[in-house]
Structure 1
């Protein structure tokens, strides 16, 4: 059997309105990739019968496997059961065993089941219930034939804890059984970088992001951090690692110390870990970054021993000599091994853009840096704060090399 393709459908007005972030689809995609299922589509749909029917029909027509979350509660806006039945042209039936299980769950909690909850025991004809050990919403497992092709639909509740338990207990084993000869898995390798723009990085990497290349390399940018994701497919972790090895080596050779991590994290996480490993600490005095350097460092869990003190001043010098004097005085009056000092933004001139000065002070002296204070207003300060923290990371790396 060839590789199965999947679509994940997330159902609920709270998702389409932006009131809640859809983390279920992310988690399910990761689980499917780990067992060799390629996710082709993510669909989010509101609590609307016609929209749900349309989404179900399209998903069943174009993929082998459909996984949905949400819409299995007892209220009028929980439409998954009804919509799926209409989409495949069948009626609903009431499963008495499922109904007794729901009643028993209410009894175990010292409550009588409200009459409206009986609808949670209704299922499209031809489907079977998926047991929910913790909640009143059983899932749906429906196998159908579409244009001579076998399709499978799994509907799960939107509550993450319930959904994940049902996935692990029932859904994942059922999917694996659909294609028992398939031993392939999809594995992603993450490379986190800072200090180079997205376009410059694409030019620096020789044809690595070309369409159709194997393994694939994707580039995403978030607040000046560039993430490279290498996607491989193989029969084992070792095979995937072997596929990715040459690409990772090429990226390392091209980007050098622009790379700060090989897993999902922020640059302050890496710097805090480096300081803790060395038994060292940092103090911060900032103006132009408006306290964000301090905030980022304090956001690192269980690393507060690496932070000595942090100060925000409304105005610090932005000229090199004046800021150097402030940095020297600040460092001599704290107990940290390093001090990050960020001056005020220096105004643009007719010939140049705004600049932001940064000094890393230590007992070995002062290291001066200056950055163009540019970019969209929403990310300018966030980027500048990362640049200041990155200055310390690069200094620590240079000391390791020495």
Structure 2
């Protein structure tokens, strides 16, 4: 099946917004064993939209179009579809009532331009929208608009990511899965998520396993700062596909070892919370260069209050002394970016908070160069308590300032996860 995507909007071609819908949709297709053949991005020009729709309908089997279903004059999707395929726009009464009810529930006034969002091309399949006001619809196009046998199915969806993802997940993906399984092909997808391993090392560990799993496809993704292995197994039945997926997932997890923190949909922060909760531990953070990012990541996970006592953001040396009891002479001898300071920060947070375990972060994120002993990108992370000795990890990350801070926050979470699970700390 040839699947393409058309993303519309001046905000996409002018650089105001990034097209995240294409990235998400491409990932969602993996679980079905399908992939995007091409993505086209255009601005809000009617002639460009009409040309793109005709071109895509001629060569693709499925096209997902995002954007242009809003209430303003530059939302041109319905008009473009009608011109491209010789159709007429109509107002769908059920969708108009849905939009009115939504505005009433929100306590807002429905303006005439919002009623434009109930328009669809005559003869289209109306999909509605449980996530917003724009009306999604689908259209099947055949001759004389095709240059290849069969028809093209076009889905016209809102550009708002939460709305597009909801409709695709509820309607499009299940329909595609049923179509594939009707052809006697069953697929099962898994993801193994890691932190602290380069993509090349991950690949070296996984590729030798594939010979024993001939019905499995494999790929990697590196959504910073994680690294993910993607697995897709095929079988003649759903049970066979699942068994094959189970087998390769077990082998991949065993080969990668301690860097694995979870599967599809799981986060390092969530895995850390689960590990701490399993041990019944509470945690306190002491953060310098990350400015609270590590504790905020943990706090973002529902249930964080079970384990998170608090965090001290101590940028200034004076606060490291007053809040964490870091000795002044230690700072004078070793500096704030040092192994000694990281250890003192973690132990001070542990003692002051009464937590079961504490973790600290200090370093040079940039853009300043740091010094000869501690160049830009140097990070010290220390962990104290949790039934083990105070330990410190030094790493250097060759990224920009914000990415150094992000990966340092993940490093702190990983130290907590590993200690709670009794795993070796990264070297």
Instruction: Indicate the SS of the match to 2:290.
Output: coil
More displaced, 11-20 or 336-345?
Answer: 11-20
Work out whether residues 272 and 413 of structure 2, in 8 Å CA contact, stay in contact via their aligned partners in 1.
yes
Cα shift at 1:152 = 2.6
Match of 2:126 in 1: 130
The equivalent of 2:395 in structure 1 is: 372
Distance 1:243 1:68, change over 3 A: same
2:383 paired with 1:386: no
What is the CA distance between 1:197 and its match in structure 2? 1.9
Q: Secondary structure at the match of 1:222?
A: coil
**TM-aligned CA deviation for residue 390 of structure 1:** 1.3
Is residue 334 of structure 1 aligned with residue 353 of structure 2? Answer: yes
Q: 1:353 to 1:52 in 2, by over 3 A?
A: closer
Other-structure match for 2:87? 92
Q: What count of residue pairs does the alignment treat as equivalent? A: 389
TM-score normalised by length of structure 1: 0.77
Secondary structure in structure 2 of the residue aligned to 1:376: coil
Aligned to 1:284: 285
Query: Structure 1: where are the runs of 5+ without partners?
Result: none
Q: Which runs of 5+ in 2 are unaligned?
A: 318-330
In the alignment, which residue of structure 2 is the partner of 1:205? Answer: 206
Structure 1 residue 65, shift from structure 2 partner:
1.9
Larger displacement relative to structure 2 (299-308 or 161-170): 161-170
Q: Is the 8 A contact 2:382 2:390 kept in 1?
A: yes
The structural deviation recorded for 1:304 is 1.7
Equivalent-residue separation in structure 2 for 1:353 and 1:374 (angstroms): 8
Q: Cα distance, 1:181 vs. partner?
A: 3.2
1:277 counterpart SS class: helix
Question: Could you list the per-position Cα deviations for residues 314-353 of structure 1 after superposition, in whole angstroms to 9, with x for gaps in the alignment?
Answer: 2364444565455444423322111113345595437988
Question: Which deviates further from its counterpart, 266-275 or 65-74?
Answer: 65-74
2:232 equivalent in structure 1: 231
Q: Distance in 2 between matches of 1:239 and 1:181?
A: 16
Q: Give the match for residue 156 of structure 1.
A: 156
* Structure 1 counterpart of 2:63: 66
Cα separation, 2, equivalents of 1:174 and 1:324: 55
2:248, 2:375 → 1: CA distance? 38
- What residue number does 2:40 align with? 43
1:399 deviation in Å? 6.8
3-state DSSP of counterpart to 2:194: strand
Q: What is the CA–CA distance in structure 2 between the aligned matches of 1:170 and 1:352, rounded to whole Å? A: 51
Shift of 1:149: 0.8
Aligned equivalents of 1:227 and 1:370: distance in 2? 23
CA contact (8 A) 2:69 2:76 kept: yes
Tell me whether 1:356 sits opposite 2:379 in the alignment.
yes
* Aligned pairs for 1:302-321 within 5 A: 302-313=303-314, 314-315=316-317, 317-321=336-340
| 1:13 aligned partner | 10
SS where residue 50 of structure 2 aligns?
helix
State the alpha-carbon separation in 1 of the partners of residues 174 and 223 from structure 2: 36
Distance 2:184 2:95 in 1: 37
1:60-99 deviations in Å (ceiling 9; x for gaps): 2332122323334565423334433444xx533365xx56
Further displaced range: 45-54 or 267-276: 45-54
Measured in 2, the distance between the counterparts of 1:285 and 1:112 equals: 50
- 1:80-229 aligned at under 5 Å gives the runs 80-87=77-84, 90-93=85-88, 98=91, 114=112, 123=121, 127-130=123-126, 132=128, 137=135, 139-145=137-143, 146-158=146-158, 181-206=182-207, 215-229=216-230
Aligned equivalents of 1:189, 1:295: Cα separation in 2 = 28
TM-score for both structures, normalised by structure 2: 0.73
Aligned-pair CA distance for 1:144: 0.5
Instruction: Provide closer, same or farther for how the CA distance between residues 198 and 117 of structure 1 changes in structure 2, counting only shifts above 3 A.
Output: same
After superposition, what is the alpha-carbon deviation per residue over 1:344-389, rounded to whole angstroms, capped at 9, x for unaligned? 5595437988643332111645332232223112411221222222
Instruction: Note the aligned Cα RMSD (angstroms).
Output: 4.2
The Cα shift of 1:17 comes to: 4.0
